[in-house]
Amino acid sequence: MAACPVGAITKRKEDGIVLINKDKCIGCRYCAWACPYGHPQFNAEAKVMEKCTLCVHRHEKGLRPACVDTCIARTRFFGEVNDLVDLIREKRAQRVSLGFIGGKTTTDPSMIYTK
């Protein structure tokens, strides 16, 4: 990712999951400044950045993220983007991803937020 000066953040080609390599992270916090979603969070004790991994360890076993499976309000969904877009239409939800400004993608996000 362009915001990381040491290449500690990568976006996986196969599924778009963004991960932070904590062994490479120097704790400069540029990514926290650059992320419009506020996802990277600084761990002051370890002096490295952390973020949701989309439960990649579960995904690689064919499981959904833990928060998708455990959310009692069923507000979270995980899957192929086209299926999620269909679901948004079905539920008549309004897409509010911050990465979409004037119809163009500025951050090419893998997350979709709706209201």
Asked if residue 3 binds ligand SF4 (CB under 6 A), the reply is yes
Number of residues that bind ligand SF4 (CB under 6 A): 22
Six token digits for residue 34:
């650059």
The closest alpha carbon to 20, from 52, 58, 61, 63, belongs to 52
The closest alpha carbon to 30, from 9, 11, 54, 46, belongs to 9
Asked if residue 18 binds ligand SF4 (CB under 6 A), the reply is no
Asked if residue 66 binds ligand SF4 (CB under 6 A), the reply is yes
Contact pick of 8, 18, 35, 109 for ligand SF4 (by CB under 6 A): 8
CA distance 92 to 89: 5
CA distance 72 to 33: 32
Do 1 and 25 form a contact (C-beta atoms < 8 A)?
no
Contact pick of 12, 15, 41, 67 for ligand SF4 (by CB under 6 A): 67
Asked if residue 111 binds ligand SF4 (CB under 6 A), the reply is no
Residue closer to ligand SF4, measured from CB, 25 or 109: 25
Contact pick of 10, 17, 19, 30 for ligand SF4 (by CB under 6 A): 30
Contact pick of 18, 31, 35, 109 for ligand SF4 (by CB under 6 A): 31
